Amino acid sequence: MPTTHSSIATARLPLPVKVGQVNQRLKGWEAVRWVDGAPQVTDVLRAEVDRFGGIGALYGVLRADPWSEVRWHTGIPPERSVEAYAAVQDCVMSRGEGLPVLFVEEAPHGLMALGGTTLPVNLALGATMDADLARELGEAVAAEARERGTHLLLVSGLDVLRDPRWGRAEECFGEDPAIAAMLVEATVRGMQAAAPGEPIDESHVAVVAKHLAGQGAGIGGRNGSGAPIGRRELGEIHLRPAFAAARAGVAGFMSAYNDVDGVPCTGSRELLTDTLREEWGWDGIVMSDGGAIDLLARATGGLPEAAALALSAGVDLSLWDRSYTLLEDVIGAGLVPEPLLDQAASRVLALKERLGLLGATSDAAGTDRTAPADGAAAAAPTWPSDRSRMTVHLAHEAARRAVVVLSGEDILPLNARKVAVVGPNADALHSQLGDYAPPRPAEDPPAATVREALVERLGALQVSCARGSDLRSALVPVELDAGWKDAADPVAEVAAALPLTAVTALAQNAEAAIVVLGGTSRRTYEDEFADNGAAAGPAADTTNGEGVDLAQVALPEAQLDVARAAKEAGRPVIAVVIDGRPRVLADLMGIADAVLLAPFGGPSSGRAIVEALYGPADASATPVRGVLPVTLPAADGVWPVAQDERLDAARYTDHPQVRGPLLGTGLPSGVGVALVSAAPAELSRTDLADGASVQVTVRITSSLPGPVDVPVIVFGRRREPGIVPRTRMVLAARRTVVEPGASELVLDLGLDALGSWASGSPHAVPAQVEVWTQPELAPPTDAHRIRVTA
């Protein structure tokens, strides 16, 4: 990969200016306020610019959520974003040394700003297994952000889910590193649209991929806890997505809070320099997570020592840390040499140059540059813009492809025209959005809960609704008047008083009961409840999100009781689980006639769920299916459960079954996939390393009456001499439209699929790989075998 260096003579800059360039200070909403209809920079920003003669980056000018306490009436309107950024840039350029600031925003699943389009969470994108769609979504979000003036987006995608108890499960593409690598690489290519080291144009943004590394392997599923894993596990599982992002030319990586075997990621030179730069040849910026450098003081004993450790490890840009503001004194004390600071500042400036922010006016440092070409002078975009409308369309397409049918295809699509939709998530928009979502606009036509989407499809008179329970607990009954049974609308009366009785009554009065259960990442503002998720305090019933780790992931009994109450009516029961983590669904699958799983799919996912229940509203549209991006646990306390755990015959004596439905479950029962051939069956490690591949031909048959859009997965078990093999792993995945009858699909298995990832990048070594397409964990007797020879 080519290296990138700034044209600015960094060593000739004053020391305070260099320190300023590696600091990402303040929170953007504290640096600029919206006052009397106009943006105003604050004294806090001015003081910071004066302190260092500029700042490297500014985080979150547009951020809106409960954590920032920014809302529609206090935040920066979408159409005024460019104006707000321009006010900040003018302050930085006029008071500092003439170096522009990078504008950094969050985009965990869409731009986290007022008017930003909320996408399905990564776990939902994992269920789509659609790299082309991930690239399109990345391109759309980048265009939406750059239109508003943003330079750099922080994008989740490196974390691989290894424990369903972890609250941030929804931010992962799933449990398999190959799927995560495929989707994060597609996202980076869509957002940046530039080869490694090449300029990023004004329709795209730079990406910092997070988090590096091993965060999904924290002890006990607790957020930020250490990952006690060996180097092989780190390389094979957790570094593979990062290597894919580096190969795509990602502009930066964010170091994670956690440690790996006791070494904090933010202070690991082995990870941030030896692996990223020397082994992979990648050259970009490493940014720390918020306050992560200061946390190194736990290992170093003080903030100056923490700054020295991080800078020596390879961290180029801090995020809110006090430690990096002390670098002038740290260098003066001899804790680190000044050339290390020069190197870090040069990388930050190189990124600004890659984004076109530096130009050609002479300054005291002997460098040519002009005012930033960042679009600050461009006309303010209208909102909603054509680009944001396109992003909404793509987000809905992703939500459609993410719904997984786990059981009960014999009753789908539904014929019922009168339904009871019950359960705590039946009419809860906040439970569709996921964590870190901005507040919704007052007028939000694309949004629809499951109840609202059913009303659109069937009519208001055909849909009745009751919660039945909260997400964690039963609803408390209220006392009824003695004559409630004689009321004009007894169901409505009893719904508030006897929640489970109401569920049964509604189901008896319908042709089918749709029970909508699951979780939510809902968070609250300090003084009110909000209908979105973000990094403030979780609501009382919150079950997902950062810092919301669970000891138990089985559906609570209160929710199962709602399904049981519906079942008592004797009508078909279709359960829909809207959630952002793997759940134990064994009991629910024993109650319901059909079970669907919908990872948090965004504002319009209610319509996507109804489409999965009834088929597309447009008869000409191709039906779509998602598949499980994770393996579900069979019971609480039975973990790990991932499909790619190493072969192990041991079982718990009190629960012999380890896994529920496997990763890849969800194809329509009328669709069959079989491996036809794998050629050549043998190739040398030299040829594999030089780009040779094996062509795998898959035969797909369909007895369905029309086409269906589904993912096709090739699984494998790789046997390397001296290494205990993993049970099963994904070798390749691709979405395809399956027509009635039979067709063939050819997939290439190259070094990524057949090589060793023990070091974090692929290497060709002698091995035998068994290849198959059926959903079983063990290779079938007719599995094909590929040999990589010495």
Mean pLDDT by 10 residues, the chain (790 residues): 58 93 92 86 95 95 89 90 95 92 97 95 98 97 95 97 96 98 98 92 97 94 92 97 97 96 96 97 96 96 97 97 97 96 96 87 33 46 78 95 97 97 96 93 85 97 96 81 50 66 96 98 66 53 93 97 98 98 97 98 96 94 96 93 86 88 95 96 97 97 96 97 96 97 97 98 97 92 94
Amino acid identity of 494? Answer: V
| Cα Rg of the chain (Å, integer) | 27
Given 2.10.260.10, 3.90.79.10, 3.40.50.1700, 3.40.50.12280, which CATH number is that of 403-614? 3.40.50.1700
Within 13 Å and on the Cβ side, how many CA atoms surround 556? Answer: 20
pLDDT digits (tens, 9 = 90+) for 50-102: 999 999 999 999 999 888 888 888 889 999 999 999 999 999 999 988 999 99
> Residue 660 has what pLDDT?
93
275-293 pLDDT, tens digit per residue, is 999 999 999 999 999 999 9
Kindly report each contact of residues 564-568 with a partner whose C-beta sits within 8 Å and lies 24 or more positions away, as own/partner: 564/591, 565/422, 565/468, 565/500, 565/501, 565/503, 565/504, 565/507, 566/420, 566/422, 566/503, 566/504, 566/507, 566/513, 566/515, 567/513, 567/591, 567/592, 568/504, 568/507
Q: Whole-angstrom Cα distance, residue 323 to residue 307?
A: 5
Q: Which two tokens stand for residue 65?
A: 């959520």
H/E stretch holding 708 reads strand 708-719
Measure the CA–CA gap between 252 and 209, rounded to whole angstroms. Answer: 6
Task: Compute the distance between CA of residue 585 and CA of residue 406 in angstroms, rounded to an integer.
Answer: 10
Q: In the CATH scheme, what is the homologous superfamily, with its name and number, of domain 10-354?
A: Glycoside hydrolase, family 3, N-terminal domain (3.20.20.300)
Q: What is the pLDDT of residue 389?
A: 85
CATH 2.60.40.10 residue window(s) in the chain? 671-789
pTM higher than 0.85 for the full model? Answer: yes
Could you give the angle at the alpha carbon of 667 between the alpha carbons of 665 and 669, nearest 5°?
A: 115
Per-residue model confidence (pLDDT) at position 367:
32
Residues of the chain with CATH 3.20.20.300: 10-354
| Cα 293 from Cα 417, distance rounded (Å) | 58
pLDDT on residue 493 = 53
Residue 36 CA to residue 63 CA, distance in Å, equals 19
What are residue 145's phi and psi, to 5 degrees? -70, -45
- Could you tell me which residues are beta bridge partners of residue 729? 716
Residue 410 makes CB contacts below 8 A (sequence gap 6+) with none
Element (H, E) at 606: helix 605-614
Residues 6+ apart with CB under 8 A from 62: 28, 75, 76, 81, 84, 105, 111, 112, 113, 114, 116, 148, 150
Give me the CATH code for the 671-789 domain, please: 2.60.40.10
* pLDDT in the model for residue 648: 77
Q: What pLDDT score was predicted for residue 790? A: 94
Alpha carbon distance 171, 160 (integer Å): 9
Between CA 475 and CA 323 the distance in angstroms is 48
